[in-house]
């Protein structure tokens, strides 16, 4: 019986570090205000696991479709991702840096709803809290073309 207890204690100690590291994920939805279906508000979904940067995702041909992007993001506190309005992480068409402030999942339905050129903190009782740094460009929410995990190019201050 004593060996049985030792085995479970050892197993618990071994498993704890792995469960403490939650993996990050970004779900990018291309929504259209006129596209409804059996799911309610149907939209194509692109899902990007944490730490896998994408210089483009043209293989999904979403740039030519009408609509705008929204996101859902999971991961531990401090997880950061930058969305660029142009392929190759170029900043010419604006960018948005998002940093999670807690372990809850976040949802952002308006990617242009932030003060330009400064950090904005969003507190949400239902979804998670996050900070965002936005460099605007006309119709940015429709142009998302590349994704880089971590804080973006010129977010100015440490957040």
Domain that holds residue 48: 22-149
pLDDT digits (tens, 9 = 90+) for 141-153: 999 999 999 886 6
Q: What is the per-residue pLDDT for 61?
A: 58
Q: Which residue has the higher pLDDT, 43 or 93?
A: 93
Q: Structure tokens of 8?
A: 């479970």
pLDDT digits (tens, 9 = 90+) for 98-110: 999 999 999 999 9
- Can you spell out the DSSP letters for 41-110? S---EEEEETT--BS--GGG--TTSSSEEEEEEE-STT-EEEEESSGGG--TT-EEEEEESSSS-EEES-
Q: What is the per-residue pLDDT for 80?
A: 95
Domain count, the chain: 1
């Amino acid at each position: 019986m004593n060996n049985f207890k030792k085995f479970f204690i050892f197993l618990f100690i071994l498993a704890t570090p792995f469960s403490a590291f939650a993996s990050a994920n970004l779900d990018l939805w291309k929504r259209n205000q006129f596209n409804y279906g059996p799911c309610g508000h149907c939209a194509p979904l692109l899902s990007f696991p944490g730490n896998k940067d994408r210089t483009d995702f043209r293989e999904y041909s979403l740039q030519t479709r009408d609509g705008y992007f929204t996101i859902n993001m999971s991961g531990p506190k401090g997880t950061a991702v930058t969305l660029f309005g142009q392929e190759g992480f170029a900043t010419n068409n604006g960018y948005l840096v998002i940093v999670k402030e807690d372990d809850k999942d976040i949802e952002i339905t308006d990617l242009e709803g932030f003060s330009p050129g400064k950090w904005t903190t969003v507190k949400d009782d239902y979804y998670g809290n996050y900070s965002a740094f936005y460099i605007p460009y006309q119709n940015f929410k429709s142009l998302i073309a590349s994704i880089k995990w971590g804080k973006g190019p010129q977010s100015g201050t440490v957040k």
